[in-house]
Every structure is written in structure tokens, then in C-alpha cells.
Structure 1
Amino acid sequence: MKALSLNAVRRASGLLVAGLAAIASANPVAAQTPEKLELRYQGWASKVLLPELAEDLGYLAPVKLNWVGNTISGPQDIQATVTGDVDFGGAFNGSIVKLVAAHAPVKAVISYVGADKETNGGLFVLQGSPIRSARDLVGRRIGVNTPGAYQQYLVTTYLEKSGVSKEDIGKVTFVPAPPVNLAQLLRRKQLDAIFLEDIIKDKLLADGGAELITTDYQLLGSFSYASYVFTDRFIQQNPNTVRKFVDGTARAIEWARRTPRAEVVARLQKIVQARHRNEDATIVNYWKSVGVGGKGGVISVADFSTYIDWYVTNGVLKPGQVKTSDIYSNQFNPFGQSVASQ
């Protein structure tokens, strides 16, 4: 066999390197080794979070999730992220806006909750309640998960769109309680109305005894309103881990979109039963859709600018105090490569 010349060997080596680079660029996530292989997080009772679904589908491997307990509040969850008690947390986008405005070093990386025709949140009263319209809520006690967060924003938007004055809106009392307890408080008449989100809302409707006044989808259409955040420091130190998390969660969102509902529900049931957290496993039966606005959880400017404008109008923030570019990034989302943060 004729010996190869040095130039031929170099050419062959160059072709091999180019070929490996092409393979890596075709599958960038697989080519990037995560720096951290475990992510600490808080769950929600009786719910399967999208990252939990992603892990069960094998989309996060080799990264694993480490459940450290449940939260009952988005603001608490992202505050735990800031303090380092967990590695990531999720909350209403307005809560993230306020956190960033307070100079917290966090960045939203993917949407995980939203409203659509099938999955949405709603404002309820007891059957037979004298409350029939927005004006009837003036002077009433309304149960929400967290005052000042998404549910209060939606109720306030409903009141404003119905022509209720700012002065009268101020007469509404928002009472905090865990989502799983709100229906019970309504039935005991300790609250006049409650706002519930997604599958917990649908379970209340199915159980009977309550009437739906309005939904967020009726008010605002399809959109995303909550995101997962990491601290800037965590992202800087673990960019491949964050990319894997976002990629896996985005893929789980799209898996849930294209998979028949019965198959998704069966998967959610399996996850809840296997984790043994002493929770109501029947709630996942009311899952209808993924309910996230953008493809793969891609964040849009409006997902945050809406709440910046709302807070400026209500004097919570000063004009220009925070910009959307300070708050989120789609750089890790495989579905958001062409979407630039603004």
C-alpha cells in the first residue's frame, strides 16, 4: 500500500474535525456536557411541573431534579432561587418584574404557565351567590394564591375592563390562601369569591356548587404569564446545565401539545403516583392542554412589558425603572434562536 503524504494526512484530519464539528452543531445540546448534574427545586402539591414531565420523558438526562419540598407561592419560589435554597424557581411574570426592579440578579429563561381556550384560570362564586357582575365584587373578600401577583392582576383587570373605579377597586380585599384550600374556604363562606388556575379550577367546576364569573382567556386571550428563572451567577457558572434544562422543558411542552390527551394524563398520573408525596392524585385527571403561549415556552416581549406598564400606571414602578431586556432571555431555548430579547 502506498504511504500517505503528510499533506494527505492533514487533509484527512481536517475533514474528520470538520465532520465532528458538523455533528456537534447539528445537535448542540448533546455536544455540551452539563456542569451541574442535579437541580434543586420546589414542587406544587397535586401538580406535575413541566421540568418533572421532561425528566420523566428522559429529556433532561443526565441532569436530575432534586425535589426539596413544595411551595405555595411563586414569589416565595423565586426568592428561594435568589437566596440559593433552590437552583431554579418559577413565578408570575409580574412578580419577576418586581424582583428585577429591586436589583435581584435573576433571568427568566422559559415560560411554563399560560392560558388558552382549553386551560385557563377563573373567578368563582358559590352557586346562588348575589355576586353576578364586577361591580358586585366591591367591598368583597376575594381569595387568591398570593396578593399582588397574577390572580390579583386578573381580578383587577376584570374590574377595570368592567368600568369599576380605582377607588372602588381599592375596597376589594384580597385574601391569601393555598390553591388547594381556596375552594373549601369559599364553601364555608369565609370568602365571597376565589380565583383558581388551570386544573384546580376545572376540578372545582366538576365537583359542583360553584359558578364561573369570568376567565383569564375570556379577558386576554391566549398568552403566557409565568416563567422559570435562574440567577445570573448560576447561568454564568453552569450555562450548559441551564441550556439542558430549557431544552428539555421546551421539548416536554411540545410533546404535551402533540400527544393525545389520554396519553398525557396517564403519564401525569404515573408521575404523581410514583413520587409518594401524600397528595391528591386525581387532580391531574383534569389536565386539558399545556396552556403555554409561545412554542416551546419561548418568551415574548409582551409577556413582561404588560406588567411593567401595569406597575408604572399604578405607581409601583417608575417609568424606565426596568426594561424587558433586563428580565429575560431566549438564548437557551431551541425554539427561540430567531427571537431576540428586546
Structure 2
Amino acid sequence: MRVPTVATKIAAASAALLLAGVGLTGCAESEAAAGGSSNTIRYQGYQGSVNLPELAAALGDLDGVRLKYVGTVQGGPQSIQALVSNQVDYGAAFNGAIAQIASTGAPITSVISYYGSSDTVQAGILVKADGGVTSAKDLIGEKVAVNTLGANAEAVLDTFLAKGGLTQDQIKKVTLVPLPGINEEAALREGKVDAAYLGGALQESALSRPGLKVLTTDVDLVGPYNGGSIVLRDQFIKQNPALTKKFVAGMAKALVYTETHSADEVRAKLQAWLTAQGRPDDAKALTLWKGTGIATHAGLIRDKDFDLWLDWLKSRGDVKADSIKASDIYTNKFNPYAEEG
């Protein structure tokens, strides 16, 4: 069975944002009032992946913007909840999740892409090599591990099941089991789940040992795409335009660095920075990182990055038809590479 996580968790987060209204302020205002720096960004990190603001800091591209690390986050919905409750100053989430929140009228805006899938960087559904799961229909009545509910993994899995000929009633019989990404491989190998959705370094690590295979990848299903973006509260942007411009520009420059340097060079640069910050475990977790997978130069956002998932959300009834269009959700105006396309 499926728990209606997209409609409940994200709608609840959206309601919290709307109810808070003007009570939510950006870090610049709150820290300035407390006598702190007006150029500080509070954030959460994703272990095992290159976090753009951190890479920008490691490269010296943040132009005076200071980062304040407040812990790790498990997935996009959790990141958005932290954003709307003012625990952090930006969220990093799946574009489908952002689109659903925005469709409720929540005042948020995506400003730069931060991850994607390409020919070399992908996420996929892993199964046991000698198991009985060889097609979408084999997952009916089975369990699939995902890092979080209501996000990229669920959207790709639903797409795979639908393309595999399953009806909506049959899709509901596939049970999603939320687990920390680092625990998904073990759960699959131990038979606690029948498949696991993994990407990036976690997938590389799982496949480096015998016994597992890829059933399908997200790129097999939808082609290369920008999967998620950095999102800010509109109020934060309005109150801190200079800070927003510096912050986005720094991340865009960091992405250009990833485009022009090898994965080894990117890892080395960020690992040194993380180690200097007293986070050696996070530095070690980057060992198998291969790239961002982002499909556009400098993380520029396109309508298609949201249209793909808006169609999925509308098919589920999570977003009303014509309630929002992709261009309402994002802006490239703070990205200094926007004119280059």
C-alpha cells in the first residue's frame, strides 16, 4: 500500500509557510538583530554528495557570504520542512516536491539546479542479481526501499511501474519503505526489502560488491534531467537581494568548476575543506562521488525541469490542472551565467 506522503507532508509544510507569513525572516535579518553577521546562510548538508554552497566556499567563490552548518538532512521533504520552519535559509529538494508546494501558493522560488542525472551519473532501482525481480510487474506486493517518501525516488519508481504496464491500483500495492540511504543496501541484501532505489556514491558502493544488479535507471525512463534545485523563501529574497545574488553566483561558479575539472579534482578540493571544518566523516563519504549529473550550464533551470514532474503530480491528483506553470516556480535572474544560456 502507499501512504499519501506527497499530498500530506508537503501540503502540511506549505500550510506552515503560509500561516507563518511575514513572521518568517531570512537569516540576514535575524542574525543582524542578534548582533551577528548579515551575510550568514544557515544550511543542512547531504552526506555523500557535493553540496554546492560548501564547494563554493572551498573555492573562495562566496564573496563574503558565510555558511553556518546546522547538521545533515535525509531528503528533500525534510529539507523543505526545515526551510519553512525557518531552521535553515535554503532548501534543497526534488523539483516535483517544490512544484507541489508552489502549487498551493507558497511563496518560494527555485534559484539554481543542484543535482541531476546524466549518461554518467544516474540513480536506479537495484535488486538481487539472483532474485526473482526482473520486471515492474514482479514488484506488485513487494517492498522497495527509498531514502524518503514523496520525492525523486517515488516519482521515478511510479514512472517505471506505469511504463511497465501496472494500473494505479497495482502501483498502490508496491510498498515504499523509507530508510536512510546508507541502510538501503543492507536491507536489500538481507531480504528486508525486494528492491532499493539508490543513486550517486551509495549506488556505486552497492554495485562494487557482488550480488546486486540495476533493474532500471532514471535516465532509462526519462532521459537526462535536472532533478532538484535550491529553493529560497520569497521573503528572504526580498529582504536580502544582495546576499541572494552573491549566494547564487557562488554556487553557479562552483558548478562551472565541476564542468571544467575532473571528479577527482572536485572531491579533493571539497574533502580538504570538509576536513578543515572538522568533518572528516563527510569528507570520506565523497570517495565514490562522480559528478552532479546536472544537464545545464551553471545550473540554469528550464521549464522542462518542472514540467516532467508536474505532469506526474497532476496524474496522481496531487496538483490541480492549470494551478501553476513551471515558469512560476523558478528564476535564473540571480545566476550570472543566465545570458549565456
SS of residue matched to 2:131: coil
> In 2, distance between residues paired with 1:255 and 1:281?
18
Q: 1:280 to 1:188 in 2, by over 3 A?
A: farther
SS of residue matched to 1:286: coil
> In 2, distance between residues paired with 1:221 and 1:313?
20
> In 1, distance between residues paired with 2:220 and 2:175?
23
Alpha-carbon deviation of 1:280? 5.8
Alpha-carbon deviation of 1:279? 2.9
Aligned partner of 1:77 in structure 2 is 79
Alpha-carbon deviation of 1:47? 3.0
Aligned partner of 1:162 in structure 2 is 164
Aligned partner of 1:230 in structure 2 is 232
- Tell whether 2:58 aligns with 1:91: no
Deviating more after overlay: 43-52 vs 146-155: 43-52
Aligned partner of 2:288 in structure 1 is 286
- Tell whether 2:291 aligns with 1:295: no
> In 2, distance between residues paired with 1:220 and 1:320?
23
> In 2, distance between residues paired with 1:199 and 1:151?
15
Alpha-carbon deviation of 1:278? 6.2
> In 1, distance between residues paired with 2:193 and 2:201?
21
TM alignment of 1:178-217, pairs within 5 A: 178-217=180-219
Unmatched runs of 5 consecutive residues or more in structure 2: 1-36
SS of residue matched to 2:110: strand
Q: 1:147 aligns with which of 149, 156, 169?
A: 149
Alpha-carbon deviation of 1:53? 0.5
> In 2, distance between residues paired with 1:80 and 1:317?
22
TM alignment of 1:246-265, pairs within 5 A: 246-265=248-267
Are the aligned partners of 1:159 and 1:169 in contact in 2 as well (CA < 8 Å)? yes
> In 1, distance between residues paired with 2:98 and 2:258?
26
Amino acid at match of 2:42: R
TM-score of the pair, normalised by structure 2: 0.85
Aligned partner of 1:270 in structure 2 is 272
Q: 1:297 to 1:160 in 2, by over 3 A?
A: same
> In 2, distance between residues paired with 1:191 and 1:277?
32
Aligned partner of 2:62 in structure 1 is 60
SS of residue matched to 1:201: helix
> In 2, distance between residues paired with 1:37 and 1:58?
15
> In 2, distance between residues paired with 1:138 and 1:320?
32
Deviating more after overlay: 276-285 vs 120-129: 276-285
SS of residue matched to 2:318: coil
Q: 1:338 to 1:261 in 2, by over 3 A?
A: closer
Are the aligned partners of 1:120 and 1:216 in contact in 2 as well (CA < 8 Å)? yes
SS of residue matched to 1:284: coil
> In 2, distance between residues paired with 1:111 and 1:330?
10
> In 2, distance between residues paired with 1:251 and 1:49?
13
Q: Deviations over 1:85-112 (max 9, x none)?
A: 1111110001101111233211100000
> In 1, distance between residues paired with 2:241 and 2:282?
36
SS of residue matched to 1:94: helix
TM-score of the pair, normalised by structure 1: 0.85
Alpha-carbon deviation of 1:256? 0.9
Aligned length: 305
Aligned partner of 1:134 in structure 2 is 136
> In 2, distance between residues paired with 1:273 and 1:118?
27
SS of residue matched to 1:279: helix
- Tell whether 2:36 aligns with 1:37: no
Are the aligned partners of 1:200 and 1:283 in contact in 2 as well (CA < 8 Å)? no
Q: 1:276 to 1:187 in 2, by over 3 A?
A: farther
Amino acid at match of 1:217: V
Q: Deviations over 1:110-141 (max 9, x none)?
A: 00010011111011012311111111111110
- Tell whether 2:317 aligns with 1:324: no
> In 2, distance between residues paired with 1:218 and 1:130?
21
Larger Rg: 1
> In 1, distance between residues paired with 2:327 and 2:120?
31
> In 2, distance between residues paired with 1:311 and 1:289?
28
Aligned residues with identical type, % of pairs: 39
> In 1, distance between residues paired with 2:290 and 2:250?
21
What is the alpha-carbon root mean square deviation over aligned residues?
1.7
